[in-house]
Amino acid sequence: MRPRSLVAVVLLLGSASCSSSGPAAGPPPSPTPPAPSDTVWACRPGLAGNPCDKDLDATVVQAGGARSRVAFVPAAGLKADCFYVYPTVSQAPSDNAPRTVTPEVVDVVHAQAALFSSVCRVFAPVYQQVTTRALLSGRYFDPAAQKVAYQDVRAAWLDYLAHDNNGRPYVLIGHSQGSLVLSRLITDEIEPDASTRGRLLSAILIGSNVTAARGSDIGGTFTKIPACRTAGQRGCVIAYSSYAVTPPSYSLFGRSSSTGIDVLCTDPTVLAGAAGAAHPFVPAGRVTAGPRALPGTGFVSYPGGIRVACRTAAGATWLHVSTVPGSGVPPFEAALGPAWGLHVADVTLALGDLVEAVRRQVAR
């Protein structure tokens, strides 16, 4: 895909991940990571204009086309927190984004994290992420740029622990770059600390290659936190990357280069108690063209509109996705090319199931 097309997709769908090679371009990033008191929040309880507590109603589209509008009912007395780190969305002309609440940040936070506010208090820090410019110039994995992004998230995490957690159970949620940063945070800050680790309900790390020893749910990316396999299981990892076909040999996700190590896939529908039948929630603003166009704001829901299952074949492990005929679900396309699969839709295609999985963890 041409660079210009890639940027357009990132803007529209609010998600990108990366694999980079080639020469470095431009000067190294120089922003100073913040102290915890400098944290900028995109979502936080009590935040003015919080995108995680508005426009959350859903238009429900049943098989056959029947539609109904369901109001989002805010939950009271939430017993858990969700700490969310968003994917690559910044179009800043530098390798690291400014620590600013931009429209693309608001859009992706609303699309991927806001509906979790029915089961947890949502905290979403703004961080100096590695930008789409760095992705396109081959500097995505530049150590200096990665360090700035990670230190920002780490500072926000320490800020949250010091001022907001108060011993509450919590969920980590990330997609793409957000998952990569959270994986490092878990390794550095959470796995070594038994008290903090003991409050973890789950780490939802979508669209990255979380790994485990072959035949095991542990022993790759993490040493103490296993894969989630049953509804209500706590202290575990939910991870997958989605494809509609067997990932090609050059796929960015689903394949491990280490002997005896495989990429994890945990089926979100199993964790939600409805194995196989996924519940997509798509921001209404993205369902705007053709016969599927729908008025209003919030989300469009297609209960049971797609089928998913973890598969392993040809050296890859992935979440296989297929649309149920007649369900009315907009087609999920490999918008970034075959290597990426359905990366841009990883979260939204099973968002209802991920929220339900967390609901069951909290209830248990």
User: What residues have CB less than 8 Å from 319, skipping those under 6 apart?
Assistant: 240, 241, 242, 243, 265, 267, 268, 308, 309, 310, 311, 350
277 touches 304 (CB < 8 A): yes
Q: pLDDT tens digits for 139-175? A: 999 999 999 999 999 999 999 999 999 999 999 999 9
SS3 state of residue 123: strand
Residue 312: beta bridge partners? 317
pLDDT value of residue 24: 36
pLDDT of residue 212: 96
> What is the rounded distance in angstroms from the CA atom of residue 165 to the CA atom of residue 82?
10
pLDDT digits (tens, 9 = 90+) for 245-291: 999 999 999 999 999 999 999 999 999 999 999 999 999 887 754 45
Alpha carbons 93 and 98: distance in angstroms, whole number: 10
| 70 contacts 57 by C-beta, under 8 angstroms | yes
Going by their DSSP bridges, the two strands 40-43 and 121-126 should be labelled as antiparallel
Q: Rounded to whole angstroms, how far apart are CA atoms 304 and 301? A: 9
Q: What is the pTM of this model?
A: 0.89
- The confidence score (pLDDT) of residue 331 equals 72
The ranges assigned to domains in the chain are 3-363
Distance CA 15, CA 13 (A): 6
Q: According to the model, what pLDDT value does residue 343 have? A: 96
Can you list the residues of the chain whose pLDDT is less than 70? 1-37, 288-296, 332-333
**Rounded to an integer, what distance in angstroms lies between the CA atom of residue 324 and that of residue 78?**
34
Write down the pLDDT at residue 205. Answer: 98
What is the residue-wise DSSP string for 21-57?
Answer: -S---SPPP-PPPPPGGG-EEEE-TT-TT-GGGSS--
Strands 261-263 and 211-213 come out as antiparallel
**SS3 category, 196:** helix
What pLDDT does residue 13 have?
30
Q: How many CA atoms lie within 13 A of 349 on its CB side?
A: 33
pLDDT number for residue 6:
28
Length of the chain (residues): 364
> CA nearest 246: which of 309, 307, 308, 313?
313
